[in-house]
Amino acid sequence: MGRKPARRTYRRPLPQQRTEDAAQDQQRLDSAARSPLASFSPEQLDAVFREREFLLAEADRLAQFDPNPGNLSRYRFARAQYDAARVALDIQDRQSR
């Protein structure tokens, strides 16, 4: 009988690294949100947000019923687009105050 293979060690990131990763993700979202802000008027931006919300719901439904790599990829892309539009609306609201 052979030896039992050793378990791989799992190293948890340090709290500082998790904070840096979260900050980097927020910077990425902010930069992705600046493109729609520069391209659309406030009314158009609201319509873009609603459209991306619908596309996310549709991609989520497809990924739930048929979780193949193509549908999961569409969901991730739709989620990224939705998040960017949401942050763009937040930035627009902060600027209008």
Paired tokens of 9: 């060690």
Smallest Cα–Cα separation from 54: which of 30, 85, 33? 85
Q: Give a yes or no: residue 75 inside a domain.
A: yes
Name the residue type at position 2: G
Q: Give a yes or no: residue 37 inside a domain.
A: no
Q: Give a yes or no: residue 81 inside a domain.
A: yes
- Give the CATH number of the domain where residue 48 resides: 1.20.58
Q: Give a yes or no: residue 53 inside a domain.
A: yes
Q: Is residue 45 within 8 Å of 92, Cβ to Cβ?
A: yes
Q: Write out the residue range of the structural domain in which residue 82 sits.
A: 42-97
Q: Give a yes or no: residue 2 inside a domain.
A: no
Q: Mind listing the pLDDT tens digit of every residue in the chain (97 residues)?
A: 678 888 888 888 888 888 888 888 888 888 888 888 888 888 899 999 999 999 999 999 999 999 899 999 999 999 999 999 999 998 888 887 7
Could you give the number of structural domains in the chain?
1
Q: Identify the H or E element spanning 67.
A: none
Q: Is residue 77 within 8 Å of 62, Cβ to Cβ?
A: no
Smallest Cα–Cα separation from 24: which of 34, 35, 32? 32
Q: Give a yes or no: residue 13 inside a domain.
A: no
DSSP-based three-state secondary structure for 24: helix
Q: Give a yes or no: residue 83 inside a domain.
A: yes
